[in-house]
Structure 1
Amino acid sequence: MATPLSASRLLAAIKAEGCKVVEYKSWRTHNRNHKGPWGPVYGVMIHHTVTSGTDSSVALCYNGHSSLPGPLCHTVGAKNGTLYMVGNGRANHAGAGDDDVLRAVIDERALPADNEANTDGNRYFYGIELINLGNGRDPWPEPQLDAAARWAAAICRAHGWNERSVIGHLEWQPGKVDPRGFTMSSFRSRVKALLSRPPGQDNTAPEDDVPLYLSLGMHKEFTMVPGTWYSVAWDQEWSDPLKHHAAGGRTFATNCQYNGVASIRVRGLTPGRELQARIVEDDASGDTVQHHPIGETAGTAGSTFLAFPFSGKARKDRKIKLQIAHYGEEPVTVEKSYLKAQVWPN
């Protein structure tokens, strides 16, 4: 059992963890305490907003809306890593959840599946809303994830909790999917790494089991003729912690282990014909020396979408690229591609 932190102690703890913090309006006295008790507190909960834009998202989380008054959390995490304090006390973020999950959080042990909604979570959990559309395609920049982990670590450190006091909304209430786009296991690993160090210490060199996040995109359309392999040129870069990608370049990894998913959308593929993707390795001279297994999907009417999971280990003398090909009857247009991966430096 833990007594909730005062506004001043909460703010001090988050700042001490190395976060950039903005105090929004009257956050110190903004709460829903008149609707029920606040505390004892047992953990922190991670959400995504299903919105875009910092100003509008922060205002929404502070004010709420007609069916759910604010505050909708205690803190809002922007994509640039800035944290906005919007509430202190009971907040409308957790809703009803599973009492078995709550007991596991209290005991700091592995979580059971959430299959009930019988317990008031707004009483027991601090909450952060991370600005993201939650569609699986909106990127998660490294500064945003790092700040969110530091926010969670700050509260855990202040209460003497470990990383198992950190849960996602999807682990609390049946039917919820947030946060979507990273796993809570990887997020708790970030918190664990932070708690193993003094507060505020730089986290650019994490423990071996803590992955870094790579996020690239291709927004410039191009044409593919049938039967030819094309290396994707990534013209968007949201997160590249290992600095293995040059803007507009095709290489995305070297000298690391990786595990990720590439999403490819093409227009004009003959229905029933194949769209394929593979990982290839180039040597130092730029020659392709190894092909990885191929992923495949069949063309559909309209746009065809292929989600291609991949994993492997790249040597320091190899560079990794994504290649795609199709076997339709006419040239097709590649509309967009996204690559998101966890990477561990060798």
Structure 2
Amino acid sequence: MHSYQLAPGNWEVIQFTQEWDDEAGDHAADGETFAAGAARFIGSLSLHFEGLSVGDVVQVRMSESGGDAPEAVHPIHEVIGAPGGMYGFVSLVKRIGAGRSMRVRLLDQSKFDIEVASTVLTALTWKESCPMSSSSQLPEGGANLRTAEMYAKELARACSLMG
């Protein structure tokens, strides 16, 4: 990702400009989308901002689209300015419906432009064509008894065994 300036007051979609791996083909080169439905995903977003004043805030949120405009927005996470460069981390765990795509948007709430020095998104995505992708298929007790990592590993193993 190339660094860029983020102006205050408007939600801006992150443009991901470098791809390390995209076996599912859900991310176009220089694109905004990191997952397309119907699918489930788990991952993280690492952020590095320069010029964010102490106490100022950048809000981060995922949004689903069926086209260019957001159709559903998810909870907001906040990165709060501290002395020096600011680093933030956001967990990404969701389900996205068929025909929708997922993006990440930023809102600079300071009074000045800041530099988005880097964003790195890492995600594992499972298409819902796997019969184990429904939470109704979990053992009694549900996902709240398992960590997301354990569930993700079991789901990946089950889907790979099914072809």
- 1:108-131 per-residue CA deviation (whole Å, 9 max, x = no partner) reads xxxxxxxxxxxxxxxxxxxxxxxx
- Equivalent residue for 1:252? 34
- CA shift at 1:315, angstroms? 1.6
- Counting only pairs closer than 5 Å after superposition, residues 221-300 of structure 1 correspond to structure 2 as 221-255=3-37, 256-283=39-66, 285-300=67-82
Q: Which amino acid aligns with 1:235?
A: T
2:104 to 290, 313, 322: 322
1: CA distance between counterparts of 2:23 and 2:127? 10
Aligned-partner SS, 1:316: coil
- CA shift at 1:276, angstroms? 1.5
Q: Higher relative contact order at CA 8 Å, sep ≥6: structure 1 or structure 2?
A: 2
2: CA distance between counterparts of 1:306 and 1:320? 20
- 1:196-233 per-residue CA deviation (whole Å, 9 max, x = no partner) reads xxxxxxxxxxxxxxxxxxxxxx2x11111112111111
1:275 and 1:306 in contact (8 A); partners too:
no
TM-score, normalized by length of structure 1? 0.36
1:265 and 1:337 in contact (8 A); partners too:
yes
1:270 and 1:329 in contact (8 A); partners too:
no
- Cα RMSD of the aligned pairs, angstroms, is 1.0
- Counting only pairs closer than 5 Å after superposition, residues 16-55 of structure 1 correspond to structure 2 as none
Q: Which amino acid aligns with 2:9?
A: G
Query: Which structure would you say has the larger Rg?
Result: 1
2: CA distance between counterparts of 1:319 and 1:305? 26
- CA shift at 1:234, angstroms? 0.5
- CA shift at 1:342, angstroms? 1.5
Larger % of helix: which? 1
- Counting only pairs closer than 5 Å after superposition, residues 190-201 of structure 1 correspond to structure 2 as none
1: CA distance between counterparts of 2:101 and 2:79? 26
- Counting only pairs closer than 5 Å after superposition, residues 120-139 of structure 1 correspond to structure 2 as none
1: CA distance between counterparts of 2:90 and 2:69? 23
1: CA distance between counterparts of 2:111 and 2:68? 31
- CA shift at 1:307, angstroms? 0.2
- CA shift at 1:297, angstroms? 2.1
Q: Which amino acid aligns with 2:53?
A: T
- Equivalent residue for 2:127? 345
1: CA distance between counterparts of 2:89 and 2:33? 19
Task: Show structure 1 runs of 5+ residues with no match.
Answer: 1-217
- CA shift at 1:316, angstroms? 2.1
Misfit runs of 4+, over 3 Å: none
Residue correspondences, number: 127
- Counting only pairs closer than 5 Å after superposition, residues 140-151 of structure 1 correspond to structure 2 as none
1: CA distance between counterparts of 2:8 and 2:68? 24
2: CA distance between counterparts of 1:316 and 1:253? 11
1: CA distance between counterparts of 2:92 and 2:127? 17
Aligned-partner SS, 1:237: coil
- 1:130-185 per-residue CA deviation (whole Å, 9 max, x = no partner) reads xxxxxxxxxxxxxxxxxxxxxxxxxxxxxxxxxxxxxxxxxxxxxxxxxxxxxxxx
2: CA distance between counterparts of 1:304 and 1:227? 19
- Equivalent residue for 2:114? 332
Task: Show structure 2 runs of 5+ residues with no match.
Answer: 129-163
Q: Percent identity?
A: 27
- CA shift at 1:329, angstroms? 2.1
TM-score, normalized by length of structure 2? 0.75
2: CA distance between counterparts of 1:310 and 1:332? 24
1: CA distance between counterparts of 2:49 and 2:96? 28
- Equivalent residue for 1:184? none
- CA shift at 1:320, angstroms? 0.4
2: CA distance between counterparts of 1:270 and 1:227? 15
